[in-house]
Amino acid sequence: MPRGSGVAAATENGFSGTMARYDYDLFTIGAGSGGVRASRMAAAYGARVAVAEERRLGGTCVNVGCIPKKLLVYASHYGEDFEDAGAYGWTVGERRFDWATLIANKDREIERLNGIYRRILDEHGVEIFAGRAVIVDPHTVEIAGRRVTAAHILVATGSWPRIPQGPGAELAISSNEIFHLERQPERILIVGGGYIAVEFAGILRGMGSTVTQVYRGPLFLRGFDDDVRTTLAEEMRKKGIDLRFDRTLESIAPSARGLVATLDDGSRLEVDQVLCAIGRTPLSRNLGLEEAGVRLGRNGEIRVDEYGASSVPSIHAIGDVTDRISLTPVAIHEGMCLAATLFDGRPTFPDHQDVASAVFSQPSIGSVGLTEAQAREQYTAVDVFRTRFRALKHTLTGRDEQTMMKLLVDRGSDRVVGVHMVGPEAAEIIQGMAVAMKCRATKAQLDATIGIHPTLAEELVTMRAPVAERA
């Protein structure tokens, strides 16, 4: 264990010996999912903990991320469900979607969750500071003019939507603002090719909006398996989403009926709203980090060791502000590991291997492990098992929606090293496969598993022959 690490510092100082020296054992900046989990776990281990939040408890995930977005995804599915109901004998009467009702109901749920986060902190004796905290030195923070000290400072401030550049950029909105629009945009241009962009394309199209999505590259979702990317593009186009790849947004200007967006090929789109989802930036600026000696990366991410300690041993960071794996469960995991390391005498570093992820596009994506390209780089020989089919449900509806499933197997060990899916309930199915991969499951073990019939998931244990090698 390196002497300069946060773990070594915690061991030397001992958290039991900080009572007289500091106001708190841990001061957390940012009350998102990771910061709250780290704070309450540290308090459960007996530490004196405070947390500062300048916005709302719960951070991005609860307020303008995972939770409200998933609620909007649920809402957007009803249109197709109503259409499909007739094939199963149901007569559905007049239907109408009301955006204002959905947003109001969503807001009530978010308010309830904010209250739960506050109650969790209160029950664990964590003091809450409402306001922006700035680091003064390695053991001091300032909130609204008040200075307090702590043996350890944790930065868990997350990230923020990247702001676009160019003429009229101020007329666009980000994923923060779209959750609070008073009216549903009838026509929307979505700029970006990450998971946020494809999710909102599906959400708004499902609610009846005319959707155009523009991405600067040849295919969106860079970093995902290529079969996942191509399958989703095909399915989104079937749903009427206008995908324009190898295109960029040049300018936005007001018009009599909304906005006019001009692309680099000269085409002009008249829309009601432009949503820019071009990435997120770690929220590390103007926190006093650099002045305190904390090393930042090129994009402002806090550079940390395997235990979450920065270049200043008493200052730690978890979650999106470190720009490692920007997922809420990862931030929570990192927070739990840090609390155990600093305050329970159990040096524990986060496991970032084979982290499963989902994209709530339409159809949805679930992935865990390596992509095919990564597997071929890492292993001498890789067997690829892939299937595409129409789900049983659509044999009656007639809907031409394809599900794709893919297994990647290291031929030398027979171990499954990647699982990918595009289709209904992909996230629910891949969660189970993530457990199997953590247990180092082999293809032979999947083959020996009896499937549940008839389900989509059974396809993952019935694929017998690998696909032919690509030329």
Tens digits of residue pLDDT in 217-258: 999 999 999 999 999 999 999 999 999 999 999 999 999 999
Provide the pLDDT confidence category of residue 468 given band limits of 50, 70 and 90. Answer: confident
Secondary structure (DSSP) of 315-380: EEE-GGGG-S---HHHHHHHHHHHHHHHHSS-------TT--EEE--SS-EEEEE--HHHHHHHSS
pLDDT value at 161 more than 70: yes
Provide the pLDDT confidence category of residue 12 given band limits of 50, 70 and 90. Answer: very low
The single-letter code of the amino acid at 287 is L
- In this prediction, what percent of the chain has a pLDDT beyond 70? 95
pLDDT digits 0-9 by tens, 369-425? 999 999 999 999 999 999 999 999 999 999 999 999 999 999 999 999 999 999 999
Quote the pLDDT of residue 1. Answer: 38
User: Domains, the chain, ranges and CATH?
Assistant: 6-62+102-160+281-343 (3.50.50.60), 169-278 (3.50.50.60), 357-461 (3.30.390.30)
Provide the pLDDT confidence category of residue 288 given band limits of 50, 70 and 90. Answer: very high
pLDDT value at 462 more than 80: yes
Provide the pLDDT confidence category of residue 13 given band limits of 50, 70 and 90. Answer: very low
pLDDT value at 294 more than 80: yes
> How many whole angstroms separate alpha carbon 295 and alpha carbon 310?
7
CA distances from 451 to 109, 370, 459 (A): 37, 24, 8
Provide the pLDDT confidence category of residue 105 given band limits of 50, 70 and 90. Answer: very high
CB atoms within 10 A of CB 427: 17
More confidently predicted of 5 and 42: 42
pLDDT digits 0-9 by tens, 113-122? 999 999 999 9
Quote the pLDDT of residue 409. Answer: 98
pLDDT value at 11 more than 50: no
Quote the pLDDT of residue 7. Answer: 56
Question: Of the listed 77, 333, 352, 453, which one is catalytic?
Answer: 453
Quote the pLDDT of residue 9. Answer: 46
**Tokens describing residue 392:** 């049983």
> How many whole angstroms separate alpha carbon 283 and alpha carbon 162?
11
More confidently predicted of 10 and 371: 371
Mean pLDDT estimate for the chain: 94
Closest CA to 61 of 82, 39, 36: 36
> How many whole angstroms separate alpha carbon 469 and alpha carbon 471?
6
The single-letter code of the amino acid at 452 is I
Quote the pLDDT of residue 163. Answer: 85
CB atoms within 10 A of CB 191: 23
CB atoms within 10 A of CB 90: 10
pLDDT digits 0-9 by tens, 303-353? 999 999 999 999 999 999 998 999 999 999 999 999 999 999 999 999 999
CA distances from 195 to 15, 130, 323 (A): 41, 31, 16
Q: Mark whether 394 is an active-site residue.
A: no
- The burial class, CB within 10 Å (0-12 / 13-18 / 19+), for 104 is exposed
Quote the pLDDT of residue 17. Answer: 52
pLDDT value at 158 more than 60: yes
Mean pLDDT on 442-460:
97
CB atoms within 10 A of CB 347: 18
Provide the pLDDT confidence category of residue 470 given band limits of 50, 70 and 90. Answer: low
